[in-house]
Amino acid sequence: MYFLKNFKINFLVIGVTALLTTTTLARNSDDDKTIHRFHQSLLTIDSHVDISREYMLSDDFDPGLKTHMKVDFDKMKRGGIDGVFFIVYVAQKKRDAAGYHAAYLAAMKKFTALHKMLDEDYPQQIKLAYSPEDVLKIHEQGKLIAMIGVENGYPIDHNLEILDQFYHLGARYMGLTHSGNNDICDSSSPSSKLGDNKNEDKGLSQFGRSVVKRMNDLGMMIDVSHASDQCVKDVLTLSRAPIIASHSGTRALMNHPRNLPDELLKQIADKGGVIQIVGYTGFIKADPARDKAFEELEAKVASHYHAREFSYKLHENTPEYIAGTNQINKDYPLATVQQYVDQIDHAVKIAGIDHVGISSDFDGGGELRGWEDASQSENITRELLRRGYSKTDIQKIWSGNLLTTWKKIASYRLKSLK
Ligand SMILES: [Zn+2]
């Protein structure tokens, strides 16, 4: 009898558990469908996606094909990503005539690749937006939206006409600097190799002031990601228009010079700007062992190719570097989507719900557990919903805030230039 009673109770418990599990599963898949539908209904923009030097030059870097890139058309569609800012990035090198010339050519190579994609190869699938109004129009046409940002003002040399040329080619934001100081302003990561003084943050230079003024006149967004704190302060003081951080994190949660302190988050917001929180593990969680593993991998790959030092240009797509990176990601896990959304939470707390957005830095080092490429972008929306963000707020974060800021900045364009 006791056995039977016990058996019945056990059976009941198992039965109830099974019932609960079935209900939970049913509810989960209903939830998933609802989240999927909601995410697909959003207008989503990722404000920072890098492109390779080989972009549109080989099948491996052709976004119209199935590729290993983190962003291609198929991954954008599967992940419900409607638009991205493709980045014309040039690394900081010597500030001499040869360096400036090479930097200009490197920038033009990327502009050419993007226009080949847009004008020649895939005009039916993707279109360049020159304005926030274009973004909405292209979205209505059912095409993917391309936008262009420049990362590092180094390739404009000391020549504002090159800045104008980049604008005419479609660039709508320019990050003033990158790793290593340049002639526009100091970097959040000065380069001792280039002879920078790490302890002296001079902020914006005299030439940098003319760049800020010209960008205001053009109605072009000034991007302060990678800039030193003093540079951000100088730009906030000088710029007539709001400014953006196209891919930055919050220093209060992760103490890294690339991240913005609360004081600057607040000042960017007070001026009407937006901070696009970046999905880059190194700016989200501290992991010295992971950093060390990357240093060792880079040294190993360089020596394998008999090079004096590791070079992204030469080595980032080698099988040895790719395999090593995968192993490091296994040994020292990437930051999670939850940790990423912690950054969004903090930025919203300090800057306000109208001044925060999303950027992946995909194909430029950005990668999270749960947001490994554009196809997994729905996971960000799921986490925002789980934390109680309203649908209206999620739309603001995914593009509304950036578009509002862009529109304000564009309104500063000189009437004489129209
Ligand atoms: Zn960057």
Q: Are 370 and 306 in the same domain? A: no
Asked if residue 72 belongs to a domain, the reply is yes
Q: Are 311 and 393 in the same domain? A: no
CA 153 to ligand 1 center in whole angstroms? 12
If pLDDT is split at 50, 70 and 90, which confidence band does 17 have?
very low
The phi, psi pair for 362, rounded to 5°, reads -60, 150
CA 21 to ligand 1 center in whole angstroms? 44
CA 361 to ligand 1 center in whole angstroms? 7
Asked if residue 87 belongs to a domain, the reply is yes
CA 246 to ligand 1 center in whole angstroms? 9
262-284, pLDDT tens digit by residue?
999 999 999 999 999 999 999 99
Per-residue model confidence (pLDDT) at position 27: 61
CA 176 to ligand 1 center in whole angstroms? 11
- Residue range 356-376: average pLDDT? 97
Q: What tokens were used for 251? A: 């220093």
If pLDDT is split at 50, 70 and 90, which confidence band does 198 have?
confident
328-343, pLDDT tens digit by residue?
999 999 999 999 999 9
CA 27 to ligand 1 center in whole angstroms? 40
Domain final position from 276, 297, 331: 331
Contact yes or no for 273/244 (Cβ under 8 A): yes
CA 228 to ligand 1 center in whole angstroms? 13
Asked if residue 2 belongs to a domain, the reply is no
Residue 10 has pLDDT above 70, yes or no: no
Question: In the chain, what percentage of residues exceed pLDDT 70?
Answer: 94
Helix (H, G, I), strand (E, B) or coil at 195: coil
CA 416 to ligand 1 center in whole angstroms? 33
Indicate the number of domains in the chain. Answer: 2
Give the total residue count for the chain: 418
CA distance 17 to 116: 58
CA 15 to ligand 1 center in whole angstroms? 54
Question: In the chain, what percentage of residues exceed pLDDT 90?
Answer: 87
Q: The CATH number of the domain where 221 resides is what?
A: 3.20.20.140
- Residue range 370-394: average pLDDT? 98
- Long-range contacts, 295-298 (Cβ 8 Å, 24+): 297/321, 297/324, 297/325, 297/328
Q: Are 104 and 210 in the same domain? A: yes
Q: Are 81 and 181 in the same domain? A: yes
Of 304, 307, 309, 249, nearest to 279 by C-alpha is 249
Of 58, 107, 85, nearest to 366 by C-alpha is 85
Q: 319 lies in which domain range?
A: 288-331
Q: Are 347 and 227 in the same domain? A: yes
Tokens 């490429």 belong to residue: 373
CA 247 to ligand 1 center in whole angstroms? 7
Contact yes or no for 51/363 (Cβ under 8 A): yes
Asked if residue 13 belongs to a domain, the reply is no
Q: Are 65 and 115 in the same domain? A: yes
CA 177 to ligand 1 center in whole angstroms? 9
CA distance 11 to 367: 46
Asked if residue 36 belongs to a domain, the reply is no
Which segment of 16-25, 86-95, 109-118, 219-228 scores lowest on mean pLDDT? Answer: 16-25
CA 178 to ligand 1 center in whole angstroms? 7
Helix, strand, coil percentages (3-state) for the chain, rounded to 5, are 50, 15, 35
